[in-house]
Amino acid sequence: MRTNDSGGAAGWGAGLMLMSVACVIGGCGVVSSDRLVTRSTGTNTALMPTVRAVVYRATDRSTADIYLTDLPANAPEADWTTLEGTLVHLHVFIRPRAGRTPIADSACSFTLRQFVLAGGQVGVYGGGGFFLPKEAIGSEEMRVEFNGATLRLNAATAGFQDLLGPSTMDASWTATRDDAAAAGWARLAGRLMEEAARGGGASVGPAAGSDAGGGGR
């Protein structure tokens, strides 16, 4: 993990690529036409996972759930506290139509959740944005492209460190329709949301060198 903060950022593990926004914008060989970038609006940092899977399922012609993740394929069945990475869930609730759907900076056609897992903890960033599909919802493949979706931390387990704060997200990927795989990621998202909402997470022991016998809080 890299940041532009000379003091370092110990909160997230090596499985998450956190780096300087200057590097992202400057073209340091990381960003390609396929990308998923969450940029902090308050600090010079960005989260750029190496995406492994982009799948979706369609409820009807106007509704879809899209999942982008760098987690391993067996993550939905694994102990979530052992996972390091991110899971993004887009809930598309309208298919815009030319001349009939308003297109403006304030327009919103999907809600967004980004689950960040590190060190046995999870943070849930939520928000929304505008997504104009090029293919019909329900197609075998659907291109996911948007810029400037807004999100902020909505819930987290007790030990999670928010290294992004209020952020924006850009994405450009092709999602494959796979109802079974999408259902698995949906189950994991549900579990993570429950844990974050109740402030769970893995137990965190005393820091190295601390007095384990000291008084509690």
> What digits encode the pLDDT tens for the residues 51-85?
999 999 998 888 999 999 999 999 999 999 999 99
So where are the chain's domains? 51-198
Cα–Cα nearest to 83, from 73, 94, 97, 93: 73
The count of other CB atoms within 10 Å of the CB of residue 28 is 11
Whole-angstrom distance, CA of residue 202 vs CA of residue 157: 9
Whole-angstrom distance, CA of residue 6 vs CA of residue 149: 29
pLDDT for position 189? 98
Helix (H, G, I), strand (E, B) or coil at 207: coil
| Residue 141 vs residues 22, 109, 137, 145, 173: alpha-carbon distances, Å | 33, 19, 9, 13, 10
209 pLDDT tier (thresholds 50, 70, 90): very low
Instruction: Answer yes or no: is pLDDT of 13 > 50.
Output: yes
pLDDT for position 10? 42
